[in-house]
């Protein structure tokens, strides 16, 4: 298999590359513009003869002969995608078009990393794939939310109009090693603040909920989706249905780190969803997949990773 992973130096992309490159039957192209991806995430993979890094922005076309395309390119944390919202939208739309054209030319399968953000501030809970969402089309998060929705539309239109083989997954909150410590999402924030002895920033009253999937579980689901039969196009939710409030998460981080940090409440960001939990019925039925790693175990691995980063720094 000749496999292209866009956004391959990012959090999810680098973990996926690590999984794929260990199969000697694969040749893995890791493509990233390094806007949010980090060379450190893939440094060890560069020793593999079947791994190749290409610095490139998928907003611009690229020519490679490939069998599979995992399209993970796009900043995923609010601070990152809001820093350059126009480029975020271009990445989702122009980048998706370029990857679909590449797949069409080489009869490749393209798997789009979509997101639970397509559901917006959901009024249905938990969120099944049939739910159309409640998204603000012109807010500060819209560049990401609507960009990902448009990318899904392009996938299904290319499938219907040109017969391109597509897979669409909707990824819920994921965490684990290789996530940028300055990512700006809640687990990386809490863990690094606790390790530095800083106050933990809780937005709103802390009673809003999220479900957290450990990265190894997610990568397994992604791999199964790509290698499922061609008629499994999705969208398919991938995430952990275990639901926690932000206060519960903060307490567990403090317990595991042994930190004496205090909680400081700040105003809830605009359009921040109140609750988020996936319905993974389709993933169970179509992929025989569900997460295995409990939050307590995954947090321990994540804390160890960030501790190691701090020690090396």
List pLDDT tens digits, range 304-313: 999 999 999 8
pLDDT at 184: 86
Residue 309 counted as domain residue: no
Active site residue 70: no
Residue 272 has pLDDT above 80, yes or no: no
How many whole angstroms separate alpha carbon 36 and alpha carbon 82? Answer: 12
Residue 131 counted as domain residue: yes
Question: Region 75-90: what's the mean pLDDT?
Answer: 95
pLDDT at 309: 94
How many whole angstroms separate alpha carbon 166 and alpha carbon 130? Answer: 18
DSSP for 97-134, please give it.
HHHHHHHHHHT-EEEEEEEGGGGBS-SSSSB-TT---B
Does residue 185 contact residue 246 with C-beta atoms inside 8 Å? Answer: no
How many whole angstroms separate alpha carbon 166 and alpha carbon 96? Answer: 11
Does residue 71 contact residue 98 with C-beta atoms inside 8 Å? Answer: no
Query: Which domain does 57 fall in, by range?
Result: 2-174+214-239+278-292
pLDDT at 219: 98
Residue 77 counted as domain residue: yes
Residue 208 counted as domain residue: no
Which of 62, 97, 127, 108 has the alpha carbon at shortest distance from 275?
A: 127
Q: How far is CA 60 from CA 56, 87, 104, 270, in A?
A: 8, 12, 17, 32
Question: Region 84-90: what's the mean pLDDT?
Answer: 98
Residue 266 counted as domain residue: no
List pLDDT tens digits, range 6-50: 999 999 999 999 999 999 899 999 999 999 999 999 999 999 999
List pLDDT tens digits, range 217-252: 999 999 999 999 999 999 999 999 999 999 999 999
How many whole angstroms separate alpha carbon 63 and alpha carbon 98? Answer: 10
pLDDT at 268: 83
List pLDDT tens digits, range 199-220: 999 999 999 989 999 999 999 9
Residue 271 has pLDDT above 80, yes or no: no
Residue 84 has pLDDT above 80, yes or no: yes
Question: Region 171-199: what's the mean pLDDT?
Answer: 95
Does residue 126 contact residue 241 with C-beta atoms inside 8 Å? Answer: yes
Active-site annotation holder among 27, 144, 158, 175:
144
List pLDDT tens digits, range 110-162: 999 999 999 999 999 999 999 999 999 999 999 999 999 999 999 999 999 99
Residue 308 counted as domain residue: no
Residue 127 counted as domain residue: yes
Total domains in the fold of the chain? 1
How many whole angstroms separate alpha carbon 259 and alpha carbon 199? Answer: 10
Residue 113 counted as domain residue: yes
pLDDT at 91: 98
pLDDT at 80: 94
Supply the CATH number for residue 122's domain.
Answer: 3.40.50.720
Residue linked to tokens 């687990």: 187
Residue 273 has pLDDT above 90, yes or no: no
How many whole angstroms separate alpha carbon 218 and alpha carbon 240? Answer: 9
């Amino acid at each position: 298999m000749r496999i292209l992973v866009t956004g391959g130096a990012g959090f999810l992309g680098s973990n996926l590359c690590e999984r794929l490159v260990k199969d000697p039957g694969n040749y893995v192209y890791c493509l990233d513009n390094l806007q949010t991806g980090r060379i450190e995430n893939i440094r060890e993979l560069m020793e593999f003869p079947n791994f190749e890094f290409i610095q490139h922005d998928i907003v611009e076309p690229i020519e490679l002969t490939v069998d599979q395309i995992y399209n993970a390119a796009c900043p995923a944390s609010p601070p990152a995608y809001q820093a350059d919202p126009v480029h975020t939208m271009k990445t989702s739309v122009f980048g998706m078009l370029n990857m679909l054209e590449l797949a069409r030319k080489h009869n490749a399968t393209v798997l789009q990393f979509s997101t639970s953000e397509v559901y917006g501030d959901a009024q249905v809970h938990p969120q099944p794939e049939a739910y159309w969402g409640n998204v603000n089309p012109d807010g500060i998060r819209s560049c990401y939310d609507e960009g990902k929705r448009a990318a899904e539309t392009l996938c299904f239109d290319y499938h219907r109009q040109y017969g391109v083989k597509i897979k669409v997954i909707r990824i819920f909150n994921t965490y684990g090693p290789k996530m940028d410590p300055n990512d700006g999402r809640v687990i990386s924030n809490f863990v690094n603040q606790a390790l530095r002895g800083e106050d933990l920033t809780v937005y709103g009253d802390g009673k809003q909920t999220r479900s957290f999937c450990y990265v190894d579980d997610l990568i397994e689901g992604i791999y199964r989706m790509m290698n499922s039969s061609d008629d499994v196009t999705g969208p398919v939710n991938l995430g952990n249905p275990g639901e926690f409030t932000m206060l519960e998460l903060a307490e567990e981080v403090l317990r595991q780190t042994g930190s004496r940090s205090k909680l400081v409440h700040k105003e809830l960001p605009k359009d921040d969803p109140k609750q988020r939990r996936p319905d993974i019925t389709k993933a169970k039925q179509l992929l025989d997949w569900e997460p295995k790693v409990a939050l307590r175990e995954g947090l321990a691995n994540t804390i160890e990773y960030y501790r190691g980063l701090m020690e090396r720094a």
